[in-house]
A and B are shown apart, each in its own frame.
Chain A
Amino acid sequence: MKLSLTRRYDFAASHRLHAPQLSEEENQRIYGKCNNPYGHGHNYALEVTVTGPVDPSTGMIANLGDLDPFVEREVLAAFDHKNLNEEVAEFKAVVPTTENVCREIFRLLQNFPAARLERVRIEETSKNSFEIGVEDFA
């Protein structure tokens, strides 16, 4: 038997999908309305899954008193109510698709000291979700 703990967070952010190496027409064709030059936004739901032994003195894999401030500091402070293209350094050069946002958030959270990060899952809307597991992250 294996245990994991998942905590769900929310953030609201805007983005624009645009690849500078492609022509205007190609960007329009590939990204459609997500290529609108002024950008648009989503209420993202972020699920963070950690694994590890349960500390017998607390009964916990990770104390939310440690996990919540870590996620706040590493991700939410930088992403919530921000324009991802303009205000998150990684997305100056990388298109902020939710695939890439997943990978970046995994990178930002992977050094959580109290337990092992296993998975990051993001719902961009109630109809789309994206996830990256430790086995996918290289």
Chain B
Amino acid sequence: MIRITRKVEFSASHFYNNPNFSLEENRRVFGKCNNPHGHGHNYTLEVTIAGEPDPATGMVLDLKELKDILQREVMDRMDHRHLNYEVPELAGKIPTCENIATVIWQLLEPKITRGKLDRVRLYESPSLFVDCTAASPDGAGRRA
């Protein structure tokens, strides 16, 4: 099996707030991420597809096709957007890296028809990233 990875970057704003928490609790739990005016990041998204190359083309999946899927499903939805207000899939969720990566996984998985979605890695900054990986049959998840 071969894994191929495509990288895209998007910029978006967000803030963290749980409406069930008090003002003080939100400040304590989320710190400066709770600033109601929001703040932004340059996110880097790496999407990995696993599969056997098609003998006719030598490709697992045409990278152009993957690029178009990422544009439609992720960039058009999230680039230069406010994640709390403008992405319906994140409505009612706190737009943490964990939740954004999960939404991206759910958006991409049904669109990948050649090969299988293997990993979604979302960097919020160079010092923080989240990996979503395919769970193995025993539910333990493969080694990243």
Contacts and interface: CB of A to CB of B under 8 A. Distances in A.
A83 interface: no
- Looking at chain A's contact residues, is the secondary structure mostly helix, strand, loop, or mixed? strand
B95 A3 contact: no
Contacts of A49: 131, 144
A65 B31 contact: yes
A54 B24 CA distance: 22
Interface residues of B, number: 31
Nearest to A51: B141
A64 interface: yes
A1 B105 contact: yes
B74 interface: no
Contacts of A63: 29
Category for how many chain A residues contact B = 20 to 34
Nearest to B29: A58
A58 B93 CA distance: 9
Interface stretch (A6-14, A25-33, A92-100): A6-14
Interface stretch (B3-11, B13-21, B49-57, B63-71): B13-21
A54 B135 contact: no
A5 interface: yes
Contacts of A6: 128-131
A123 to B, nearest CB: 12
Contact of A7 (B30, B127, B133, B134): B127
Interface of A: 1-9, 49, 51, 54, 57-61, 63-65, 119, 133, 135
